[in-house]
Amino acid sequence: MCTYYAGRGKSGPVKAVDGINLEVADGEFLVLLGASGSGKSTLMRTIAGLEHPSSGEIYIGGQLANHLPPKARNISMVFQSYAIYPHKTVAKNISFPLETAHLPGAEIRRKVDWAAELFGISHLLARKPRELSGGERQRVALARALVRSPSLFLMDEPLSNLDAKLRHAARREFKRLHGETGVTTVYVTHDQIEAMGLGQRVAVMNFGKIQQIGTPHEIYHEPCNTFVAQFMGTPPMNLLPEGDDLIGFHPEHCFLATPGQPAADAYSLTLHVQQIEELGAHALIYGTSGGNTPRDVIVKLPERESYRVEVGKECDFYVPGTLLKRFNAKTGLRSDREGA
């Protein structure tokens, strides 16, 4: 599937979504992860029917949906903005889509009570949005979306307006929600922690293309190219040149060398330590590798080991061979996989 925007680029039409071939299983929680401008929101809006693909087909529940209007796709959407009615009570906000569908009053009350209990907002039903916290307003928006019994949930950056503590709590709530309802969900975010914590699968996007799709473990530990390798993880994967390749390793996979180490297949490096960040349970070591062209390297050590490292001095490290990744320096693709 492709989606073009005519006349939006300096050199002509912009291909916002480029050659997407994606299948979401029934009941799956799929996360579209990418930076701003990667095409993730355009893809979600195209699924919803708010945008029209320039080519390709969209099937929802086995039915061709290209020409179906959004209201005919049985989709519920939750956006970054809460989009709830300020003049209506919580109960009226939740019941609104049911009332417009002309459901019987008893059924509306039953569904509202069910959704409110599911999201822990039963005690808020008589309140107005101005009396609620940001997290409570988000739960109202989710309850209203779910009460329609959709076949597909689309969520576009729903936690962006929440602080870090509320985002953590909301992630747990989303996991519980999906576990209890089993509604197929496509969730859009730029936050890799959200993606890794929520998604059964994650699709990493860049420039309108899906770079890699897989489980959070696969995406993090087996990146298919240097973009995914450095997009996932905080701090990102280190990449150091070696011949025609780039050697990749995560900061936590680099260990202090001791007498008798490392093993023969390990990658050894000496760092000139420039800075140490003590972060409680662990420390980040910032340094430069030796050689004619020094490269920046970040090492993540347990707090109990960081005392052995001093700023301004050199320190020896190693990465076990089983934790190394190799990428072609020209193409950025993995070069240590069969058929690469």
Tell me which architecture the domain covering 236-328 has in CATH.
Answer: Beta Barrel (2.40)
pLDDT recorded at residue 6? 56
Contacts of 198 (CB under 8 A, 6+ apart): 29, 31, 171, 174, 175, 187
Where does CATH 3.40.50.300 sit in the chain?
19-221
| Least confident range of 154-163, 209-218, 296-305, 316-325 | 154-163
Crossing angle of the two packed helices 134-146 and 90-100, in degrees rounded to 10: 20
Orientation angle between helical segments 164-181 and 134-146, nearest 10 degrees = 20
Rounded Cα distance between 189 and 159, Å, is 9
Q: How far is CA 70 from the centre of its chain?
A: 25
- List of E strands, 163-223: 184-189, 201-206, 209-214
pLDDT tens-digit readout, 46-103: 999 999 888 999 999 899 999 999 989 989 888 766 678 999 999 999 999 999 889 9
Q: Is 92 exposed, middle or buried (0-12, 13-18, 19+ CB in 10 A)?
A: middle
4 band by pLDDT with thresholds 50, 70 and 90: low
What confidence score (pLDDT) does residue 133 get?
A: 86
- For residue 104, cis peptide bond before it (omega within 30 degrees of 0): no
Pairing of strands 245-249, 29-33: unpaired
CATH 2.40.50.100 domain extents, the chain: 236-328
336: its two tokens: 């240590």
* Bigger pLDDT: 92 vs 171: 92
Mean pLDDT across the chain, nearest whole number?
90
User: What is the SS3 assignment for 79?
Assistant: coil
8 Å CB contact between 282 and 300: yes
Name the CATH superfamily for 19-221. Answer: P-loop containing nucleotide triphosphate hydrolases (3.40.50.300)
